[in-house]
Amino acid sequence: MSSPRKNLIDGVGHFFCESLSTPFLSEADLHHLINVLRFGPRDFVTISDDRSQWGCFEVASFPLDLKTAIERQKTGQLWVAKGPSYEIPEIPSPILAVAFVVNSTGQARDVVHGLVEVGVDTIIPVVSDFSGLSRGKLESSGLSNKLRRAAMASACQAKRLRIPQIESVLSVDEVIGRYRGRCLMADFDLTGQVEHGPSHLLISEQKAQPRDDERALAGEIQERSGDIRVLLVGPAGGWSERERALGVDTIDLGPGVLRSETAAVVGGFYLINLCRFEGK
């Protein structure tokens, strides 16, 4: 009998729906499955409810075209479960988040695609002193909804069981204020004093050894933001001196000058590797 992970990998496609009792995919998803992936009689898909369960499903009968699939799905006659459903594991602690400065809608989509694929739990679009875009302009453009759609598409491609949370647009100051004591800022080490490698702010609660000045804030931090680690990644022009003076520990992502899209994904992978895989 195949393992759950093998089933997840072997499925022709991966999708999300409200309920596994009556799976219902969008017309766009059905088109992709039938006309792009060429779903056949021996194939199956995996479907997640994005909350608690996921499972494998086959089509009840063939031949199948898009119009037929749409009609059968409306009457609940399209999908047949292939074995029992599986439980979606709880998100490991701490929750891992990347807050990145938005330079453009295209750049933001690229960042979201990469962060979803590497496994980040929460993504926060941010405006900064040098971003060149106002929060009002980003919100009026519907950026958060666009990024949520991008996150779902990437979660399907990466076969993730949960769609990462996309937060509303925040300022750098708001991110630091909300997550102070659980936040790092990606920046160049221009002083030679920034340590490369694990930080006490990123390591999971069981391993963390907070400084004395952080212990006093621990209760408030837990109440406001839960057990979360946030990495702030700046715009193409870097951080302003005002932002650098906000009192957040920094981490150098490497010797090269990275594009903002690359820096965000590298930072996300750093979080995943340090908090989820180090020592395993």
Q: What is the chain's pLDDT, residue by residue, as a tens digit (280 residues)?
A: 589 999 999 999 999 999 999 999 999 999 999 999 999 999 999 999 999 999 999 999 988 999 999 999 999 999 999 999 999 999 988 899 999 999 999 999 999 999 999 999 999 999 999 888 888 888 888 999 999 999 999 999 999 999 999 999 999 999 999 998 888 888 865 444 444 433 333 332 222 333 343 333 333 333 334 588 999 999 877 889 999 999 888 888 877 778 889 999 999 998 888 888 764 4
What pLDDT, on the 0 to 100 scale, is given for residue 173? 94
Same domain membership, residue 81 and residue 31: yes
Burial of 222 (0-12, 13-18, 19+ CB in 10 A): middle
Write the pLDDT tens digit of every residue in 154-200. Answer: 999 999 999 999 999 999 999 999 998 888 888 865 444 444 433 33
Examine the domain organization and report whether 72 and 8 are in the same domain.
yes
What is the Cα–Cα distance from 14 to 11, expressed in whole angstroms? 7
Peptide bond before residue 63 is cis, with ω within 30 degrees of 0: yes
Q: Which three-class secondary structure state does DSSP give residue 81? A: strand
**Whole-number pLDDT of residue 188:** 64
Q: Are residues 71 and 188 in the same domain?
A: no
Same domain, 134 and 59: no
Q: 172-179 and 218-225 are packed helices; what angle lies between their axes, rounded to 10 degrees?
A: 120
8 A C-beta contact, residue 41 and residue 18: no
Query: Mean pLDDT of all residues in the chain?
Result: 84
What is the reported pLDDT for 274? 81
Beta strands in the chain (DSSP E): 14-16, 45-48, 53-59, 79-81, 86-87, 95-101, 122-127, 165-166, 170-171, 183-186, 228-233, 250-251
Q: How many domains does the chain have?
A: 2
**One domain for residues 35 and 164:** no
**According to the model, what pLDDT value does residue 214 have?**
35
Q: How many helices (H) and strands (E) does the chain have?
A: 11, 12
Domain boundary among 68, 87, 106: 87
Tell whether 181 and 231 lie within a shared domain. Answer: yes
Last residue of a domain, one of 70, 87, 104: 87
Residues 148 and 205 in one domain: yes
DSSP 63: S
* Of 50, 68, 87, the domain-final residue: 87
Question: Which residue range is the domain that position 183 belongs to?
Answer: 95-277
Cβ(275)–Cβ(94) below 8 Å: yes
